[in-house]
Amino acid sequence: MTVGPVPNCDGGGGGPILLRISPNPAGSSANVEALENTCFIRLRILDRFGNLKKEWSYPTNSKRALINLNNLPQGVYFLKAFDGTSWRTISFIKQ
């Protein structure tokens, strides 16, 4: 699944940029990727009620992350990515 736009992590540009989580549906882990010239510094997973389930912070701008989903029960979740300015949210399914 992809969603956009996400602001440019190099401080310029703009336009529609995409964020991807795969696979979707996910098993015990998933890959998160900021496409083109974007990045994130924080990721959060929320359940369908908006409760925070997991959070990761990155010391530098990141374009990719492998996130561990082992302790999450099956269901629909929301992945929120923060680029230092704004949050972007995509949904995914945990099998």
Domain 2-94, what architecture?
Sandwich (2.60)
Can you give the pLDDT at residue 4? 47
Strands 29-34, 2-3: pairing is unpaired
State the Cα–Cα distance between residues 71 and 78, nearest whole angstrom.
Answer: 15
Question: Distance between the two ends of the chain, CA-based, in angstroms?
Answer: 15
Q: Quick check: pTM over 0.85?
A: no
Specify the higher pLDDT residue, 49 or 36.
49
- Domain locations in the chain? 2-94
pLDDT tens digits, one per residue of 27-43: 999 999 988 878 899 99
Query: Is the C-alpha dihedral spanning 12, 18, 23, 25 positive or negative?
Result: positive
